[in-house]
């Protein structure tokens, strides 16, 4: 806290510890002021309380803060009052909300008589810190919080380190669904108490290329995960969600039942939201004595001569923080936000996938945890794919590979089962992009809307003939012409001999240009791969031995849980919750031995 403020027209210096600040007297009209600003998802009402020369209180309410920005707002508001400075650092991961808060405070100060008040930056001295605890958890997403809370519940002293300014990770933007079998919320009437049905679903969707025992172990812990969250106060609705097998999905539910807009768009149903889980786990972690360091990035794992992990080195601003610990849990997500990491570890992705396409992935996931685990002696598993999503919509227009070859029934719906079939066909074709062909026969409302959207994104190529459009797009012209000729024959016959499209005649024959080829790339919710772990989430070396003191959870280590297709809504949160909790429990047992 500041030592004091002057009421005269002069500047004085007040300091505590490593931070010092110049405080300036202002001539403000004391009072409570409000300003409504536009946040990430809706209006935010910023309230600012001032005396003649002091910022007394900052707060915000409304749709924005209620669902998504409350942690960023509280962190920045406290900083503003503590430092008597409005333009504090924005919270990484909540930039729009942060800037909106600053603008709202400035508007309030303008009403109070001086918009430029509290603009003088505080003077600070950087200093290094040395901390110690039992367990460090890198990352505060669904897996990190499960690990940190379970370890703290077991009596361990835990520090959770998050490089963003707010905790939560990608799951805060999810629909909050968790697949589970055998929870106390299910009943015999549901027919899904037996975990075998869910095991079979996940394994089949991996094309039987994931590790069966990993899926089995995950599902067998799924019911207890739901019951654990329920004991913390999380509310769930049981039912079908995003193409999941009916009644396996448990959706974290807002108990107030309030419909709140979602930043990823209307595809996410609310009041179901991943943030409803964090509303319970994060306070529970803090109440159990846990510490969370925000805006802090882990840069190094510490190991002794035997390879045992002994802590981490992290950076916060310009300061180095060394944390001595008996165990570390890596739960920092995948690397969908890094083109370099995708190219290195996930060869079946391309530049169109970087940062995802649906708003659900965390663009700040850049492979930090995977990199540290590899440097410590771990190794990669998985087939180098991303969690495919968001590529297709049922439009009667043929889709071809870069060789000009049609590869699926385009009229499949968006349900995971059907969409997955198209993704599988896309990958099996060995192509980098998919292309949709439009012509005079595709002048329906859905096709025209898709074409207009593609033009805005700059992924449309045009030609008067099939050969011209193929050359413009970089698609094989001979292959495209042969595909269209065969397709027109099937339209005339009214039967799709290749993929069994129910009403191929609805497509119409491609007989007249101009023609358009629209380029598509699968989007990703995340990556499938990462570190090899044991059934207890211990990070393993390639010779099968464990790295003492090192654990991992979530997307940092999901390469044996999935293969290349995202199984269905709730699959990622199931893996993140189970692997994270197992990591936290195993780490707590290890440090207490």
Per-domain residue ranges of the chain: 11-112, 132-379+539-592, 391-521
- Range in 60-74, 156-170, 215-229, 529-543 the model is least confident about: 60-74
Q: Judge contact between 30 and 108, C-beta under 8 A.
A: no
Fold of 132-379+539-592: FAD/NAD(P)-binding domain (3.50.50)
Tell me if domain 132-379+539-592 and domain 391-521 are identical in fold: no
Highest mean pLDDT out of 18-27, 197-206, 419-428, 476-485: 476-485
pLDDT of residue 295: 87
Q: What secondary structure does DSSP assign to 173-185, as a single string?
A: GS--EEE-SS-TT
**Nearest of 156, 164, 546 to residue 373 by alpha carbon:** 546
Radius of gyration of the chain (CA): 27
> What pLDDT digit, counting tens, does each position of 267-298 carry?
344 566 788 898 899 999 999 999 999 889 99
> Given the structure tokens 């699926």, which residue do they identify?
408
Numbers of helices and strands, H then E, in the chain: 15, 24
Helix (H, G, I), strand (E, B) or coil at 70: helix
Whole-number mean pLDDT of the chain?
A: 84
pLDDT greater than 50 at residue 7: no
Choice between 160 and 4, residue whose per-residue pLDDT is larger: 160
The CATH number of 11-112 is 3.90.1010.20
Percent of the chain with pLDDT over 70: 83
Check residue 188 and report its DSSP letter. Answer: G
Average pLDDT over residues 302-307: 98
3-state secondary structure 481-530: HHHHHHHHHHHHHCCCCCCCCCCHHHHCCCCCCCEEEEEECCEEEEEEEE
Task: Give CA–CA dist 339/385, Å, rounded.
Answer: 13
Provide the token pair at 531. 């570190």
Task: Count CB neighbours of 52 within 10 A.
Answer: 14
**First-to-last CA distance in the chain?**
41
Average pLDDT over residues 226-234: 96
pLDDT of residue 272: 63
pLDDT of residue 552: 98
Task: Give CA–CA dist 411/399, Å, rounded.
Answer: 10
> What pLDDT digit, counting tens, does each position of 323-355 carry?
999 999 999 999 888 888 888 898 877 665 665
Which CATH class name applies to 391-521?
Answer: alpha beta
Backbone angles phi, psi at 326, to 5 degrees: -90, -15
The C-alpha angle 516, 521, 525, rounded to 5 degrees, equals 145
């Amino acid at each position: 806290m500041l030592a004091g403020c002057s009421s005269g027209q002069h500047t004085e210096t007040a300091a505590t510890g490593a931070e010092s600040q110049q405080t300036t007297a202002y001539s403000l009209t004391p009072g409570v002021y409000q300003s409504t600003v536009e946040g990430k998802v809706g209006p935010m009402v910023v309230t600012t309380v001032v005396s003649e020369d002091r910022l007394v209180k900052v707060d915000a309410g409304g749709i924005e803060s209620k669902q998504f920005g409350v942690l960023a707002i509280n962190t920045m508001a406290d900083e503003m009052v503590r430092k008597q400075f409005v333009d504090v650092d924005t919270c990484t991961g909540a930039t729009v909300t942060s800037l909106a808060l600053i603008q709202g405070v400035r508007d309030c100060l303008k009403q109070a008589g001086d918009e430029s008040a509290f603009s003088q930056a505080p003077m600070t001295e950087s200093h290094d810190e040395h901390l110690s605890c039992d367990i460090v958890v890198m990352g505060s997403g669904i897996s990190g919080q499960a690990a940190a809370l379970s370890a703290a519940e077991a009596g361990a002293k835990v520090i959770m380190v998050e490089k963003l300014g707010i905790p939560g990770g990608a799951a805060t933007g999810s629909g909050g669904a968790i697949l589970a079998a055998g929870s106390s919320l299910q009943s015999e009437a549901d027919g899904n108490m037996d975990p075998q049905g869910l095991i079979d679903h996940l394994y089949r969707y991996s094309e039987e290329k994931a590790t069966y025992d990993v899926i089995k172990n995950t599902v067998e812990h799924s019911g207890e995960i739901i019951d654990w969250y329920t004991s913390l106060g999380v509310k769930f609705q049981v039912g079908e969600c995003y193409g999941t097998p009916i009644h396996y999905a448990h959706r974290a539910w807002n108990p107030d039942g309030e419909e709140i807009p979602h930043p990823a768009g209307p595809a996410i149903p609310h009041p179901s939201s991943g943030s409803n889980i964090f509303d319970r786990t994060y306070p529970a972690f803090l109440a159990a004595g846990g510490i969370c360091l925000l805006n802090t990035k882990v840069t190094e794992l510490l190991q002794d001569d035997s390879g045992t992990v002994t802590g981490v080195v992290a950076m916060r601003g310009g300061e180095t923080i060394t944390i001595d610990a008996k165990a570390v849990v890596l739960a920092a997500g995948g690397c969908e936000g890094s083109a370099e990491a995708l190219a290195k570890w996930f060869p079946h992705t391309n530049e169109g996938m970087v940062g995802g396409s649906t708003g659900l992935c965390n663009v700040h996931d850049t492979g930090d945890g995977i990199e540290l685990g590899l440097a410590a002696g771990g190794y990669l598993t998985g087939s180098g794919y991303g969690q495919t999503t968001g590529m297709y919509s049922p439009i009667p227009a043929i889709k071809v590979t870069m060789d000009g070859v049609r590869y699926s029934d385009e009229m499949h719906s968006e349900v995971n089962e059907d969409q997955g079939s198209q993704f599988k066909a896309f990958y099996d074709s060995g192509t980098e992009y998919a292309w949709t062909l439009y012509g005079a026969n595709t002048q329906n409302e859905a096709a025209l809307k898709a074409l207009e959207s593609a033009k805005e994104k700059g992924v449309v190529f045009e030609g008067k003939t099939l050969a011209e459009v193929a050359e413009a797009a970089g698609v094989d012209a001979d292959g495209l012409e042969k595909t269209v000729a065969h397709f027109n024959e099937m339209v005339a016959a009214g039967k799709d001999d290749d993929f069994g499209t129910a009403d191929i005649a609805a497509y119409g024959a491609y007989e007249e240009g101009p023609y358009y080829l629209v380029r598509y790339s699968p989007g990703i919710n995340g990556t499938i791969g990462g570190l090899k772990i044991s059934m207890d989430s211990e990070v393993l070396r390639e010779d099968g031995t464990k790295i003492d003191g090192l654990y991992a959870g979530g997307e940092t280590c999901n390469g044996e849980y999935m293969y290349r297709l995202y199984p269905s809504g709730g699959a990622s949160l199931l893996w993140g919750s189970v692997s994270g909790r197992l990591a936290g429990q195993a780490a707590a047992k290890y440090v207490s031995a």
